[in-house]
């Protein structure tokens, strides 16, 4: 009735190396993993840091300079994300979250005041009867 199928990683393509089911290298980049399966280094020297709950907290470059920082409320919902890109000024996004229902729901995303579109809504979300709609800003 049912047929067993075995799958294996193709360890010969794309310059990727595997140790059992864990990718240890992608091209010339070495990938290091925490014992619980979260990546801690790799891809151009990026360094990944996690909070006590195992959620991504910071991503730093090879010099340990911050690239991304994420903050969570006490319930584990993302409420703020800051990012820095060499080509654009550092900017953050605030997330307004509705926690009154069974699952937390993002209501809107607001750009920081130091962003070129400072203080503006980046996205707004509307939920009704199980349906949802995302408003995309006119200039997007």
Mean pLDDT for each 10-residue chunk of the chain (140 residues)? 66 65 73 75 83 90 89 89 77 83 78 66 68 54
Where a domain ends, among 35, 60, 85? 60
C-alpha of 5 from chain center: 33
Are residues 99 and 127 both part of a single domain? Answer: yes
Distance between CA atoms of 123 and 139, rounded to whole angstroms?
Answer: 12
- Is 86 part of any domain? yes
Distance between CA atoms of 18 and 76, rounded to whole angstroms?
Answer: 32
Are residues 78 and 135 both part of a single domain? Answer: yes
Question: What's residue 140's pLDDT?
Answer: 46
Q: What is the pTM of this model?
A: 0.65
Are residues 80 and 48 both part of a single domain? Answer: no
List CB contacts of 121: < 8 A, sequence separation 6 or more: 108, 109, 110, 111, 135, 137
Are residues 103 and 138 both part of a single domain? Answer: yes
Domain that holds residue 13: 1-60
Strand order in the sheet with 66-72: 32-33, 39-42, 46-50, 56-60, 66-72, 78-85, 88-98, 105-111, 121-128, 131-135
């Amino acid at each position: 009735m049912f047929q067993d199928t075995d799958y294996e990683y193709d360890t010969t393509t794309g310059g990727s190396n595997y140790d059992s089911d864990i990718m240890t290298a992608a091209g010339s980049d070495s990938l290091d993993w925490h014992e619980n399966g979260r990546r801690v280094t790799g891809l151009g020297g990026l360094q990944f840091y996690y909070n006590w709950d195992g959620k991504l907290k910071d991503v730093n470059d090879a010099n340990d300079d911050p690239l991304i920082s994420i903050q969570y409320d006490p319930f584990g919902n993302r409420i703020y994300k800051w990012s820095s890109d060499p080509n654009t000024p550092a900017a953050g996004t605030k997330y307004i979250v509705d926690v009154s229902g069974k699952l937390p729901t993002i209501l809107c995303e607001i750009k920081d005041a130091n962003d070129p579109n400072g203080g503006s809504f980046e996205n707004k979300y509307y939920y009704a009867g199980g349906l949802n709609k995302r408003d995309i800003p006119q200039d997007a």
